[in-house]
């Protein structure tokens, strides 16, 4: 029962408190600032000013806006259940890693309302469903917790584009998400986060994949003063595929952190993770990527890549790609590079009459495009291209 | 067109050029030959303005304007074009985008309007065809995954599109098979006319079988030690460079 789960999580958080630098997952990201965000937010707000079409599920301070559900195009193909009413513990079962994460426990302890979105079998939704998180804290140092579980049943193909709109005072947005992908399903998750000076974002995303299911995660994170994202994926049955492409753009004192764990628990699954960071000024990024190939997961094909482009001498990238392999018939690779713009490339472009500033912009865009071009959702690609151009043109 | 006077240059405190004097007039094809490490490529890079090199002394005049301190891009806009020995690969930037950006930079410098996309494509396809390259070449990323021959043809495509005043060919013949060499030479011959000039840097005679030079210079230890006609090339082919040191 969710009540027991909540109690256990509360107990764990109260025992452990906020994570310290001694915690492996928090070695390069301080949670100290987050501890100050303890104020509750208002849950009965309206968000009339938010574009809310019939393909949007709108959440206001973590709570689902019933109007958006009423006019949701696909509501006939979907059941929305309050998590408190769930009888089946498997639905809200999270990984041990998340359960050992103090701030995941904090989220379970404090979420106001949790939702289980169960899409019917063999549903094909062509246009991506927009998940809009509208956050409007009325007082500074507020904590906004959301808890959502999405279930893509067998034979279904669904795309989500998740976007945060932060309109209020300073807040710590803590998001807990779980995605269950049944056999022969396709899930495409696009995430576009454009932060604000006063918003801190921490998200825990847990995916479970059954036979022959496909998962794509496209992400663009831009200008977040604090953005730490945990992604854990369990490939539970054979023949599943995962592709993760994430681009982070950091400037001023932005801090962007991707913590990705892929568990290959079954044979003949493939996973590909590609995270690129472009960092200017005093911004910093962390990549903690891990692939675990368990004993029976033969014929695993996995690749992990992290590339960091540093545009200033004061920007920092911490990269930690890891592989743990317990099977003997697998193909796994990983790599990481960190560096500045290539002087030879700048010379080459300038030698054709392109000025230095333009040459640098071309090279930054080229670095970013290699991820953006791999996004599975064209709409996320389009938004990202515009956001990328704006970001590059804003740079000195 | 270009006058180089007593040019001395170094890289990372290592002196490479030790007083180069060179005068190239419109309509001329010059060749510089020399051993590995004699400073030929350094000269090409210094003419193009590569900031990795420090000019210690001397000057470079382009059409009577002193360009010694001029930025790389302004040299290019004033008519200098370096055909790179090792063109760098730039994944993520298409040849079309790059070439059009370069052309537009030149047009803007000349006070002209940007090139229309259709006209750009038409002109580029014509040159591609002459170089035996497929139209899809424009969609590929700059030099990314190109064969040795494709890289050099890409340089010639850029040369013919930009149509500069002075083309400096830094060992453009290296790594080319006979067919590719002929294609590259054909491109250079198409480029040259009485109003522009070509400076070829090479080790071998083979490119010069297709592009006839007017003046040949031999370089040793960062200095031009002998200037003459095509007979110098034959002498080098037969006797090497040691006779110059006697």
List the domain boundaries for chain A.
2-341, 342-396
Looking at beta carbons, which residues of chain A come within 8 Å of B109? 353
What is the per-residue pLDDT for A133?
A: 93
B147 touches A: beta carbon within 8 Å: no
Residues of chain B with C-beta less than 8 angstroms from the C-beta of A362? 93, 97-98, 101
The CA distance from A307 to the nearest CA of chain B, in Å, is 14
**In chain B, which residue's Cα lies nearest the Cα of A358?**
B101
| pLDDT band of A195, cuts 50, 70, 90 | confident
User: Above 80 in pLDDT, residue A49?
Assistant: no
Chain A nearest-CA distance from B79, in A, is: 9
CB contact residues (below 8 A), chain B span 28-47, against chain A: none
Residues of the domain holding B92: 2-245
Query: Cβ–Cβ of A366/B91 closer than 8 Å?
Result: yes
At residue B70, φ and ψ (nearest 5 deg) are: -75, 150
Flag whether pLDDT at A396 surpasses 70.
no
In the numeric block, the tokens 């890693």 are attached to A97
User: Given an 8 Å threshold on Cβ–Cβ distance, is B88 in contact with A345?
Assistant: yes
Residue A154 structure tokens: 């067998």
CB contact under 8 A, A354 and B82: no
Of B67, B50, B56, B53, nearest to B1 by C-alpha is B67
Asked if B102 and A354 come within 8 Å (Cβ–Cβ), the reply is: yes
Asked whether A396 and A311 are in contact (CB, 8 A), the reply is no
Percent of chain B whose pLDDT exceeds 70: 100
H helices present in B49-174, as ranges: 72-77, 95-109, 117-130, 148-162
User: What is the pLDDT at residue A101?
Assistant: 97
Long-range contacts of the stretch A126-129 (C-beta < 8 A, 24+): A127/A55, A127/A159, A128/A55, A128/A159, A128/A160, A128/A161, A128/A188, A128/A190, A128/A377, A128/A379, A129/A55, A129/A56, A129/A57, A129/A74, A129/A158, A129/A159, A129/A160, A129/A161
A67-92 per-position pLDDT tens digit: 999 999 999 999 999 999 988 888 98
The nearest CA of chain A is from the CA of B166 a distance in Å of 13
> Tell me: the pLDDT tens digits for B131-150?
989 999 999 999 999 999 99
Interface check B106 vs A, CB under 8 A:
yes
pLDDT band at A126 (very low <50, low <70, confident <90, very high): confident
pTM: 0.92
In degrees and rounded to multiples of 5, residue A315 shows phi and psi of -90, 155
Chain-chain contact of B92 with A344 (C-beta, under 8 angstroms): no
Q: Say what percent of chain A tops pLDDT 70.
A: 98
pLDDT tens, residue by residue, A320-365: 999 999 999 999 999 999 999 999 999 999 999 999 999 999 999 9
Portion 324-353 of A in contact with B at CB < 8 A: 342-345, 347-353
pLDDT at A40: 82
Helix H, strand E, coil C: the string for chain A is: CHHHHHHHHHHHHHHHCCCCCCCHHHCCCCCHHHHHCCECCCCCCCCCCCCCCCCEEEEECCEECHHHHHCCCCHHHEEEEEHHHCCCCCCCCCCHHHHCCHHHHHHHHHCCCEEEEEECCCCECCCCEEEEEEECCCCCCEEEEEEEEEEECCCCEEEEEEEEEECCCCEEEEEEEEEEECCCCEEEEEEEEECCCCEEEEEEEEEEECCCCEEEEEEEEECCCEEEEEEEEEECCCCCEEEEEEEEEECCCCEEEEEEEEEECCCCCEEEEEEEEEECCCCEEEEEEEEEECCCCCCCEEEEEEEEEECCCCCEEEEEEEEEECCCCCEEEEEEEEECCCHHHHHHHHCCCCCHHHHHHHHHHHHHHHHHCCCCCHHHHHHHHHHHHHHHHHCC
Minimum distance, in Å, between the CA of residue A343 and any CA atom of chain B: 9
ipTM: 0.96
A374 shares contact with chain B (CB less than 8 Å): no
Residue B103 has pLDDT above 80, yes or no: yes
Q: What is the pLDDT of residues B152-190, one digit of tens each?
A: 999 999 999 999 999 999 999 888 999 999 999 999 999
The minimum CA-CA distance between B222 and chain A, rounded to whole Å, is 23
Question: Would an 8 Å CB–CB cutoff place A370 in contact with chain B?
Answer: yes
For residue B172, the domain's CATH number is 3.40.50.300
Specify the higher pLDDT residue, A92 or A19.
Answer: A19
Give the pLDDT of residue B132: 87
When divided into structural domains, chain B yields a total of 1
Contact B76 A351 (CB under 8 A): yes
Q: Do B84 and A350 touch (CB under 8 A)?
A: no
Q: How confident is the model at residue A39 (pLDDT cuts 50, 70, 90)?
A: confident
State the nearest Cα–Cα gap between A384 and chain B, in angstroms: 15
Q: A389 — contact with chain B (CB < 8 Å)?
A: no
Query: Are A353 and B76 within 8 A, CB to CB?
Result: yes
Closest by Cβ to A351, choosing from B48, B93, B142? B48
Mutate to test the interface with A, among B44, B87, B90, B97 (most CBs of A within 10 A): B90
From B50, B76, B141, residue closest to A352, measured CB to CB: B76
What is the four-CA torsion angle of B163, B164, B166, B171, rounded to 10 degrees? -60
């Amino acid at each position: 029962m969710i009540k027991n789960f909540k109690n256990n999580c509360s107990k764990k958080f109260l025992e452990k408190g906020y994570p310290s630098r001694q915690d492996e997952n928090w070695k390069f990201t301080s949670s100290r600032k987050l501890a100050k965000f303890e104020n509750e937010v208002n849950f009965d707000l309206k968000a009339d000013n938010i574009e809310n079409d019939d393909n949007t599920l709108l959440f206001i301070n973590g709570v689902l806006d019933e109007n958006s559900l009423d006019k949701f195009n696909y509501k006939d193909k979907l059941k929305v259940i309050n998590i408190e009413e769930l009888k089946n513990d498997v639905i809200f079962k999270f990984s041990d890693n998340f359960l050992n994460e103090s701030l995941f426990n904090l989220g379970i302890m404090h979420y106001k309302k949790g939702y289980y979105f169960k899409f019917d079998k063999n549903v094909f939704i062509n246009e991506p469903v927009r998940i809009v998180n509208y956050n409007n804290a009325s007082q500074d140092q507020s904590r906004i917790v959301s808890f959502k579980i999405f279930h893509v049943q067998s034979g279904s193909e669904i795309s989500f584009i998740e976007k945060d709109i932060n309109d209020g005072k300073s807040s710590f947005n803590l998001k807990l998400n779980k995605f269950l992908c049944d056999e022969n399903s396709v899930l495409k998750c696009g995430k576009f986060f454009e932060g604000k000076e006063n918003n801190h974002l921490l998200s825990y995303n847990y995916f479970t994949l059954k036979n022959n299911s496909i998962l794509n995660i496209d992400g663009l994170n831009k200008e977040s003063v604090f953005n730490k994202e945990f992604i854990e994926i369990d490939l539970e049955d054979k023949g599943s595929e995962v592709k993760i492409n994430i681009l982070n753009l950091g400037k001023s004192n932005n801090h962007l952190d991707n913590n990705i764990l892929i568990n290959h628990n079954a044979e003949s699954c493939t996973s590909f993770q590609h995270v690129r960071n472009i960092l200017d000024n005093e911004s910093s990024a962390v990549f903690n990527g891990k692939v675990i190939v368990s004993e029976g997961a033969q014929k695993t094909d996995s690749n992990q890549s992290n590339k960091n482009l540093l545009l200033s001498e004061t920007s920092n990238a911490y990269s930690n790609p890891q592989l743990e392999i317990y099977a003997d018939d697998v193909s796994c690779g990983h790599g990481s590079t960190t560096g500045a713009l290539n002087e030879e490339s700048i010379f080459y472009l300038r030698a054709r009459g392109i000025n230095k500033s333009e040459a640098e912009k071309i090279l930054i865009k080229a670095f970013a495009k290699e991820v953006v071009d791999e996004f599975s959702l064209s709409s996320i690609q389009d938004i990202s291209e515009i956001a990328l151009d704006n970001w590059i043109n804003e740079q000195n | 067109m270009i006058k180089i006077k007593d040019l001395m240059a170094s890289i990372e405190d290592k002196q490479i050029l030790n007083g180069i004097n060179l005068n190239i007039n419109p309509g001329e094809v010059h060749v510089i030959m020399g051993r590995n490490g004699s400073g030929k490529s350094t000269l090409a890079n210094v003419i193009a303005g590569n900031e990795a090199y420090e000019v210690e002394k001397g000057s470079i005049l382009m059409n009577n304007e002193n360009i010694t301190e001029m930025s790389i891009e302004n040299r290019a806009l004033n008519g200098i074009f370096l055909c790179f020995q090792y063109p760098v690969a730039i994944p993520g930037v298409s040849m079309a985008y790059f070439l059009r950006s370069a052309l537009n930079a030149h047009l803007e410098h000349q006070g002209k309007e940007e090139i229309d996309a259709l006209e750009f494509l038409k002109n580029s396809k014509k040159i591609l065809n002459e170089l035996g390259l497929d139209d899809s070449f424009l969609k590929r990323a700059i030099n990314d995954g190109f064969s040795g021959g494709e890289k050099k043809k890409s340089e010639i495509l850029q040369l013919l599109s930009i149509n500069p005043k002075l083309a400096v060919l830094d060992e453009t013949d290296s790594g080319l098979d006979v067919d590719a060499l002929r294609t590259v030479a054909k491109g250079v011959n198409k480029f040259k006319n009485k109003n522009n000039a070509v400076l070829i840097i090479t080790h071998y005679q083979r490119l010069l079988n297709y592009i006839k030079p007017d003046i040949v210079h031999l370089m040793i230890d960062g200095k031009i030690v002998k200037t003459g006609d095509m007979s110098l090339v034959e002498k080098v082919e037969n006797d090497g460079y040691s006779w110059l040191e006697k």
